[in-house]
């Protein structure tokens, strides 16, 4: 069980105090979207009451709006350790940003150019690249090992399928990979993949949506070229964020209207953004920074060269990792003891540093929907299906039989909630 006690933080999340038909609400639906602390709600309503306007007017509300947006860009730059806030572009969500950028990147590609995607990814990191086939781009797909749901990385002589190393070549222009799988939790070796992509002159696009609430992200250390994430998965409001290296944002011609700014990030922030969401994202970043300052100072040495809010955010995510791992180990130990339960993905606790605390499982003689509905009646919120990671459930041959049950933990979940969820599952088994 976790050694660090983060339970005092729960009081900051009003939704965690709700109950459902007499049962306390238990949110194991984090991989689909997390709850928000009160300060996020206050920042959004405060913005709408006091500063609501469009940008670049001469009056107070407009000037305050510009300041809020600038602060939100800086907040995300700090979260990702991006060199500059001008490398951060907001959008409605990750999917829309990825389609927008894939279309713009497509302008630089020629027929016969190649893109590598993976079968472990959410469809939002597949469909935008597959769409470029319409203009003659070849899309190649990396397989994963169905036993532990890890990507095949090294090339040559792996009988289980196509490995990344086999698919890279002189025509590869871009590799698109998830930081972690939203279906089965596998964390991919992004640094290694970046080196392999760069060795053939390709760019690396990273979907960090599922990973972001679970561990530190440092775009400079990862060596990626683009990274997308969604603040509603890490305690903020519904929004999407793109980071890319500044010279790439300069080079790629955006689909934009003429009066919009020509420089990054403006050229990629199409139309009017959700200003209130950006106010909320900033508050979520501040919440995490405070968590890091209060609980995570012992991790400072792991992040040499970091200072101020950037250090606090790294400490926060290291603390969250430290809290989540034993909680998840207890959850998996309980799941493994349930008769007829089959867990997908990495199941060996010694390798839990290679996965997020997101459990995908099936219960014998019960459809995933039945399991999710049984838990919902007891106040435990989990998802059933494919969660848009449809190529994962297809490869595991589960797509036509309802996919899997997905129960994901985040740092506001507790050992008591885990025990209660396990008891509800045992009842059904
Ligand atoms: C791994 C992953 N990638 C992409 C997405 C899509 O994100 P968005 O809802 O911001 O478009 C999700 C959403 O569940 C996800 O889990």
The mean pLDDT value for 148-177 works out to: 90
pLDDT in tens, 367-381: 999 999 999 999 999
Query: Quick check: 394 pLDDT over 70?
Result: yes
Taking the C-alpha atoms of residue 248 and residue 198, their distance in angstroms, rounded to an integer, is 14
Atom of ligand 1 nearest to the CA of 32: 14
Q: Pick from 207, 217, 240, 241 the residue to mutate for probing ligand 1's pocket: most ligand atoms within 8 Å of its CB.
A: 207
Query: Quick check: 159 pLDDT over 80?
Result: no
Give residue 156's pLDDT: 63
Give residue 21's pLDDT: 84
- State in Å: Cα 390 to ligand 1 middle: 12
Give residue 155's pLDDT: 72
Q: Is the CB of 321 under 6 A from ligand 1?
A: no
pLDDT in tens, 297-341: 999 999 999 999 999 999 999 999 999 999 999 999 999 999 999
pLDDT in tens, 381-393: 999 999 999 999 9
- State in Å: Cα 50 to ligand 1 middle: 31
How confident is residue 1, by pLDDT bands cut at 50, 70 and 90?
Answer: confident
The mean pLDDT value for 225-238 works out to: 98
- State in Å: Cα 387 to ligand 1 middle: 9
pTM tops 0.85, yes or no: yes
Query: Quick check: 121 pLDDT over 80?
Result: yes
Query: Quick check: 157 pLDDT over 90?
Result: no
Q: Whose CA is nearest to atom 12 of ligand 1?
A: 209
Q: Is the CB of 309 under 6 A from ligand 1?
A: no
Taking the C-alpha atoms of residue 236 and residue 281, their distance in angstroms, rounded to an integer, is 5
Percent of the chain with pLDDT over 70: 99
Q: Is the CB of 34 under 6 A from ligand 1?
A: no
Q: Is the CB of 209 under 6 A from ligand 1?
A: yes
pLDDT in tens, 8-34: 999 999 999 999 889 999 999 999 999
Give residue 108's pLDDT: 98
**Residues near 360 by beta carbon (within 8 Å), at least 6 away in sequence:** 183, 184, 185, 343, 344, 345, 404, 405, 406
Give residue 100's pLDDT: 98
Query: Quick check: 67 pLDDT over 60?
Result: yes
Residue 80 burial by CB count (10 A; 0-12/13-18/19+): exposed, middle or buried?
buried
- State in Å: Cα 226 to ligand 1 middle: 15
- Mean pLDDT, the chain, rounded, equals 97
């Amino acid at each position: 069980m976790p050694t660090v006690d983060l339970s005092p933080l729960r009081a900051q999340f009003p939704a965690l105090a709700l109950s459902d038909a007499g049962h306390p609400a238990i949110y194991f639906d984090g991989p689909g979207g997390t709850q928000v602390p009160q300060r996020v709600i206050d920042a959004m309503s405060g913005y709408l009451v006091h500063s609501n306007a469009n940008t670049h007017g001469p009056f107070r509300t407009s000037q305050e709006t510009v300041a809020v947006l600038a602060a939100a860009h800086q907040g995300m730059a700090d979260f990702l350790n991006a060199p500059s806030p001008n490398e951060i572009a907001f959008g409605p969500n990750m999917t829309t940003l990825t389609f927008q950028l894939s279309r713009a990147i497509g302008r630089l590609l020629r027929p016969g150019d190649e893109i590598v995607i993976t079968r472990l990814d959410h469809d939002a990191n597949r469909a935008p690249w597959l769409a470029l086939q319409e203009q003659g781009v070849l899309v190649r797909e990396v397989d994963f090992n169905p036993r532990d749901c890890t990507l095949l990385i090294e090339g040559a002589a792996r009988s289980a399928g196509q490995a990344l190393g086999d698919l890279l070549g002189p025509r590869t222009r871009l590799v698109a990979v998830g930081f972690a799988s939203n279906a089965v939790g596998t964390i991919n070796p992004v640094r290694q993949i970046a080196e392999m992509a760069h060795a053939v002159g390709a760019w690396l696009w990273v979907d960090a949506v599922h990973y972001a609430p679970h561990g530190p992200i440092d775009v400079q250390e990862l060596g990626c070229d683009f990274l997308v994430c969604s603040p509603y998965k890490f305690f903020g409001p519904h929004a999407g964020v793109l980071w890319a290296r500044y010279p790439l944002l300069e080079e790629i011609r955006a689909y934009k209207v003429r009066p919009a700014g020509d420089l990054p990030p403006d050229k990629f922030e199409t139309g009017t953004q959700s200003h209130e969401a950006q106010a909320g994202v900033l508050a979520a970043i501040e919440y995490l920074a405070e968590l890091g300052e209060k609980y995570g100072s012992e991790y400072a040495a792991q992040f040499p060269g970091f200072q101020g809010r950037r250090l606090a955010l790294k400490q926060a995510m290291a603390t969250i990792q430290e809290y989540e791992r034993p909680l998840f180990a207890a959850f998996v130990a309980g799941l493994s003891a349930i008769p007829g339960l089959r867990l997908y993905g990495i199941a060996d606790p010694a390798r839990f540093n290679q996965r997020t605390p997101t459990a995908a499982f099936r219960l014998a003689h019960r459809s995933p929907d039945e399991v999710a509905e049984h838990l919902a009646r007891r106040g435990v919120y989990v998802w059933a299906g494919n969660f848009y990671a449809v190529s994962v459930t297809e490869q595991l041959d589960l797509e036509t039989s309802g996919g899997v049950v997905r129960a994901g933990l985040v740092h506001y979940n507790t050992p008591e909630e885990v025990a209660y969820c396990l008891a509800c599952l045992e009842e059904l088994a």
